């Protein structure tokens, strides 16, 4: 990664777990298990190369449509990860991870919400790398959530509609205070956002890859960053 500009914020749609498993004649949930390991690996590699903010799309507001068995197994994987984060709190502190969960906590099992709260508060004063994990996350849901906060202020007479700004909407999002993603990576050969960071992606660079998430390696991340280095970002200027 010598001489490469490292994007300040990389966001990844961890897709293709089910197809990876199917190709091997395994249950879809086996793909999620391997995908969860890859998530850990890519997260620590990103830290090594100096990524400051990284966001992983782990479970969408639409993913509840899947079978109960699949959803339960995915929730079990979150529990395992959260447990591990607590167990390894010393290590994580040293690594300087600031971990945040993006998404509606209300819809998640209560025990998971409590574990999330512990992990977030244990790491909230760290700043080596901001790790966002999007769980029960939907971009539209997030915007509605932000707009409701603004509406509340208007109702209380603290704000008038003509004074609403883009920053106010950004400040009400789960990513409040963090920069917008510079690079959004989607493996598995799909070319869509699937309700991921739809507000924040306004000027993001997109990188698509046919590799399925469980096969994704640090070398794939390097390739995405290299491609990013060849982009010419204009932000509407000439």
CB of 110 to ligand IPE, least distance (A): 21
Known catalytic membership, residue 63? yes
| Contact between residue 185 and residue 222 where contact means Cβ atoms under 8 Å apart | no
Other CB atoms within 10 A of residue 56 CB: 20
Q: Which of 2, 17, 63, 132 is catalytic?
A: 63
Distance CA 22, CA 212 (A): 12
Q: Which of 11, 12, 15, 196 binds Mg ion (CB under 5 A)?
A: 15
Least distance in Å: CB of 151 to ligand IPE? 28
Q: Is 15 a catalytic residue?
A: yes
Q: Which residues pair with 9 in a beta bridge?
A: 53
Closest to 40 measured CA to CA, from 77, 7, 93, 1: 77
Joined tokens for residue 74: 């995915």
Size of the site for ligand IPE (CB under 6 A): 17
Residue 55 contact, options Mg ion, ligand IPE, none, Cβ 5-8 Å cut-off depending on partner type? none
> Which of ligand IPE, Mg ion, none does 56 bind, CB closer than 5 to 8 A by kind?
none
Residue 225 binds to ligand IPE (criterion: CB under 6 A): no
| C-alpha separations of 238 from 28, 201, 204, 232, 235 in Å | 47, 20, 17, 10, 8
Quick one: 6 or 193, whose CB is closer to ligand IPE? 193
Distance, in Å, from the CA atom of 51 to the CA atom of 61, rounded to the nearest integer, reads 27
Q: Which structure tokens are listed for 12?
A: 């990844």
Give the SS3 label for residue 53: strand
CA distance 105 to 110: 9
Tell me whether residue 44 or residue 194 sits nearer to ligand IPE (CB atom). 194
Site membership for ligand IPE, residue 18 (CB under 6 A)? yes
Region near ligand IPE per CB under 6 A, out of 38-46, 55-63, 139-147, 222-230: 55-63
Candidates 7, 16, 103, 181; binder of ligand IPE (CB under 6 A) is: 16
Where on the chain is the footprint of Mg ion (CB under 5 A)? 15
Where on the chain is the footprint of ligand IPE (CB under 6 A)? 13-19, 57-60, 63, 74, 188, 190, 192, 194
């Amino acid at each position: 990664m010598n001489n490469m500009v490292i994007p300040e914020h990389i966001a990844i749609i961890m897709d293709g777990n089910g197809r990876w498993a199917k190709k091997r004649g395994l249950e879809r949930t086996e793909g999620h298990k391997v995908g969860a390991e890859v998530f850990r690996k890519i997260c620590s590699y990103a830290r090594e190369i100096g990524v400051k903010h990284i966001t992983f799309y782990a479970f969408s507001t639409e993913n509840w449509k899947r079978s109960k068995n699949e959803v339960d197994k995915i929730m079990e994987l979150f529990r395992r990860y959260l447990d591990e984060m607590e167990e390894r709190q010393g290590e994580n502190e040293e690594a300087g991870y600031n971990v945040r969960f993006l998404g509606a906590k209300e819809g998640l099992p209560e025990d998971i919400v409590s574990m999330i709260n512990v992990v977030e508060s244990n790491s909230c004063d760290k700043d080596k790398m901001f790790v966002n994990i999007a769980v029960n996350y939907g971009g539209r849901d997030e915007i509605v959530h932000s707009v409701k906060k603004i509406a509340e202020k208007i109702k209380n007479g603290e704000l008038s509609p003509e004074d609403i700004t883009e920053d106010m909407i950004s400040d009400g999002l789960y990513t409040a205070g963090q920069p917008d993603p510079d690079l959004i990576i989607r493996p598995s050969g799909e070319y869509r956002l699937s309700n991921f960071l739809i507000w924040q992606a306004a000027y993001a660079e997109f990188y698509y890859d046919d590799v399925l998430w469980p096969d994704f390696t640090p070398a794939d991340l390097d390739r995405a960053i290299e491609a990013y280095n060849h982009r010419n970002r204009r932000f509407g200027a000439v």
